[in-house]
Every structure is written in C-alpha cells, then in structure tokens.
Amino acid sequence: MKKMLKLALATLVALSMAAPAMAKTTFVTIGTGGVTGVYYPTGGAISKIVNKKRKVYGIRATVESTGGSVFNVNAIMNGDLEFGIVQSDRQFQALKGLGEWEGKPQDKLRAVFAIHPETVTLIAATDKNIKTPADLKGMTVNIGAPGTGQRGNAIDLFEAVGLKLEDMNIEGTKPSEAASLLQDGRIDAFFYTVGHPNGSIKEAVAGARKVSFVPVDAATTAKLIAKSPYYGASKIEIKSYPGITNTQDVPGFGVKATLCTSTEVSDDIVYAITKEVFENFEDFKKLHPAYSVLTKQSMLEGLSAPIHPGAMKYYKEAGLM
Ligand code: GLU
C-alpha cells in the first residue's frame, strides 16, 4: 500500500514538472501586405523577435501576405487575424467610421505601436513626361486593389489637384505586380504608399524602361494636411534607388505604418509582443533600412485608436507613458 502511494506521488510530481513544457502554444498571425513591400518584412521582423522567446511566452507568431491596410483592418475585426499592419490614416478612419468604413466605426480596433514612415509614392514611366500629379490626365494608372492602403491616398491626391477618376484609365492590381506592369508598358504610373527603400520600387527602377518619382508640391501637401490631419510632409531619398531619373530628393506627403490588433486579443499576448520589440529595439531597427529613423518615442506617435491595455502595461512599466 505504502509503495503504491509512493508511486502515485512520484507520478504526480513528474507530471507537474512536465506541465510547463506541455503548456500549449498560442498561434498568432500578423497580416502584412505584398511581398515586395515593407509590411511583409516588418511582420517577419516582429515575429522573429517574439518567436525567440517562444519558451517564455508560448507564443508562435506567423506572417501572412495580404492585400494591405484595408484588408488587415477588416480581417482583425472579423477575427481572421490577431494583428495587422495598418496605415495610420486607415487606423483613424476605421476607428471613426470614415472612408471605407463610412458610418461603421470599428470600436474594437486597438493600436499597439507605430513603425516606419510611409510616403504616398507616385512612380511613372519617364517617357510619359508626367511632371506633376495633374499630368496623369489620360494616363493608365494603377492605384491599387480595394484592400490596399494607397487606393484612398491616390484618390485624395486626385481631388487635391482637380483630377476625376474618369480622367484616367484606373487599374486596381496588387502592388507586387505593379512594377512589372510598368516595365511591360501596360501602365504608365502606379501609386504605392510605402516605406523606403523597398523591393517593389527597386524592381520598377531596375528595368529597361526609365522611371521617375512624381513630386507633390508643398502647396498641394499643405492642402491635403489641412483637410486630413493624419497626413504629413514627407520626402523620398533618391540615393536608395540608383537608376531613377530624378536628380533630387522628391517631396510629397505620407502617413505611418502602425501595428493594430483588437480588444479580443489577450493582454498577455499584446504585452509580450510589445515588450519584446521595445526591449530588443536596437536589434529590431537593424532588420530593415526603412526603420533607420525610428526612436522608441516615434513608435508611440501617430496612433489614433486607443492603445491596447497589454501594450499600455508595458509602456507604463518602461516609463514610456
Ligand atoms: N501601405 C500599403 C498598404 O497599406 C502597404 C505597404 C507595404 O506593404 O509596405 O496597403
């Protein structure tokens, strides 16, 4: 009898010791964008940092290539994604029920942190002589599929310079295809709201057809900012793109990439992701050249949705808020 009790006790002890190793893994998916943009490697950078601590948190993050910001907001809201990278302007509109979400505020959307700046980039075939956005009249222009963030930015710019959609042949294909369409002569220009440098623009510049960035002048940018507070002045540095026709850095306007989630995602998961990115900030910054301008403080700016309580817990602990 004593022997049996001992055995039972030993089994119990062994079981309880094995328990942490058996703790279940929580899988979380981060929605990004096209594979040649910056969102996709950004999802990879966040996952890499978090997955290193899989034993501590039991979290396994994976990355999904998606249509972009608008798709990501909707997928977070319907529970298909736990996280997504979202343009700051889309975050603002979704929360307030504007733009694509007219009259349908997405109350459960939460901000985690901001990441790199994104410029509303308009790149055109040099042979088409497009010097200003207004010169797009009569041209074939890819403004992106409906799930992308840039589509709305292109439309805002058209309005600011007095262009109507009917003035152009509008294409709506995904950003990863735009560079080859431009090279093949099937489009004259495309829009991409994106961090620099990135693979898509490098691909567009590397072909035989010469391409140039189309600048947005200061007056137009001022007009856009006056109407929509989430826009800011921005600049593309041409040194990132040898072969581009421009001879000077290109002025324009832009937004910020942000990491979003929903109230449905647990505080523990959001805390872990926030903490690991911030505590490994210098390593994170090295993962993409578009992060060169990041500071911990800049990662807390440009958020319009309430900060998720899991992220807030870390910011308070770290004295960042
Ligand atoms: N800003 C783009 C979008 O929201 C994606 C840019 C990227 O993938 O880097 O659709």
Based on the fold, state whether residues 74 and 102 are members of the same structural domain. yes
Q: How confident is the model at residue 9 (pLDDT cuts 50, 70, 90)?
A: low
24 band by pLDDT with thresholds 50, 70 and 90 = confident
> How do residues 130-180 score in pLDDT, each as one tens digit?
999 999 999 999 999 999 999 999 999 999 999 999 999 999 999 999 999
Asked whether residue 42 is assigned to any structural domain, the reply reads: yes
Residue 9 falls inside a structural domain: no
| Confidence (pLDDT) at 7 | 61
**117 within 8 A of 179, measured Cβ to Cβ:** no
Supply the CATH number for residue 139's domain.
3.40.190.10
How many domains, in total, are found in the chain?
2
Residues 221 and 250 in one domain: yes
Mutational pocket test of ligand 1: of 35, 38, 39, the residue with most ligand atoms within 8 Å of the beta carbon: 39
Mark whether 144 and 220 lie in a shared domain: yes
Query: How would you label 131-154 residue by residue, b for 16+ Cβ within 10 Å and e otherwise?
Result: eebbbbeebbbbbbbebbbbbbbb
The reply to whether 190 falls in a domain is yes
252: tokens are 């324009």
Average pLDDT for residues 281-295, to the nearest whole number? 97
Atom of ligand 1 nearest to the CA of 72: 4
Residues 67, 182 share a domain: no
Distance CA 268, CA 310 (A): 6
CA angle at 146 for the pair 111 and 62, rounded to the nearest 5°: 50
**Position 2 pLDDT exceeds 80:** no
The ligand 1 atom at the shortest distance from the C-alpha of residue 195 is: 9
Shared domain for 239 and 183, answered yes or no, is: yes
pLDDT digits (tens, 9 = 90+) for 305-318: 999 999 999 999 99
**Shared-domain flag, residues 246 and 281:** no
DSSP class of residue 124 equals E
Tokens of 286: 């090295």
Q: Which pLDDT does position 4 carry in this prediction? A: 61
Q: Residue 40: its pLDDT value, please?
A: 98
Q: Are residues 190 and 237 in the same domain?
A: yes
How far does the centroid of ligand 1 lie from the alpha carbon of residue 280, in Å?
Answer: 24
CB within 8 A of 307, min separation 6: which ones? 110, 111, 112, 315
In this predicted structure, the answer to whether residue 225 has a pLDDT above a threshold of 80 is: yes
| Residue 176 domain boundaries | 118-254
SS3 helix, strand, coil % of the chain, rounded to 5? 45, 20, 35
Query: What is residue 295's predicted lDDT score, i.e. its pLDDT?
Result: 98
The answer as to whether 141 is a domain residue is: yes
Residue 158 CA to residue 143 CA, distance in Å, equals 11
Which residue has a Cα nearest atom 6 of ligand 1?
194
Same domain, 237 and 174: yes
230, 280: one domain: no
Any residues with Cβ below 6 Å from ligand 1, and which? 33-34, 37-39, 68-69, 87, 118, 148-150, 193-195
Residues 33-79 have pLDDT tens digits of: 999 999 999 999 999 999 999 999 999 999 999 999 999 999 999 99
Average pLDDT (89-109) is 97
31 and 128 inside one domain: no
**Closest ligand 1 atom to the C-alpha of 71?**
10
